């Protein structure tokens, strides 16, 4: 068998690992247990599996339709991270000098990106 076919081929356990991993929110240990790996070595098996290019590729293949449907891509993630990192407390609160209290701003008047960062 050519080397490229061997690299892309997954065992049944590896395929099940990938499917469990995607469906459980990326919990590698639980995915390994669900796929039939030993509970005693599930954590290390998951860690090892997730370094294998063929497993990474299959996980990406499984997730691609969902990510496409939701409109989630690298740009979406980077935009969200940028919005979160730029949020500061003064975006959301004012200090009322008369009452010496902190007052929440009207969230309906804030830009959507600021509200999403909460």
Q: HSE on the CB side for 112, CA within 13 Å?
A: 2
Q: pLDDT class for 4, splitting at 50, 70, 90?
A: very low
Average pLDDT over residues 51-68: 93
Give Rg (Cα) of the chain: 22
Average pLDDT over residues 25-39: 97
Lowest-confidence segment of 35-44, 69-78, 82-91 by average pLDDT: 69-78
Extended beta strands in the chain, E state: 93-96, 101-104
Tell me the pTM.
Answer: 0.59
Smallest Cα–Cα separation from 87: which of 67, 63, 115?
Answer: 115
Question: Cα torsion at 47, 53, 55, 59 (round to 10°)?
Answer: 100
pLDDT of residue 116: 85
Q: Is residue 90's pLDDT more than 60?
A: yes
Q: pLDDT class for 95, splitting at 50, 70, 90?
A: very high
Average model confidence (pLDDT) across the chain: 90
User: Which CATH fold topology does 3-70 show?
Assistant: Arc Repressor Mutant, subunit A (1.10.10)
Q: pLDDT class for 3, splitting at 50, 70, 90?
A: very low
Domain positions in the chain are: 3-70, 74-116
């Amino acid at each position: 068998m050519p080397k490229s076919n061997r690299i892309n081929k997954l065992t049944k356990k590896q395929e099940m690992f990938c499917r469990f991993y995607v469906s459980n929110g990326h919990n590698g240990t639980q995915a390994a247990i669900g796929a039939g790996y030993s509970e005693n070595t599930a954590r290390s098996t998951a860690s090892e599996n997730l370094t294998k290019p063929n497993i990474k590729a299959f996980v990406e293949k499984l997730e691609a339709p969902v990510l496409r449907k939701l409109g989630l891509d690298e740009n979406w993630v980077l935009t969200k991270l940028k919005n979160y990192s730029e949020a500061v407390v003064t975006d959301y609160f004012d200090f009322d000098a008369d009452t010496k209290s902190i007052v929440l701003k009207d969230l309906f008047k804030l830009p959507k990106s600021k509200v999403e960062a909460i």
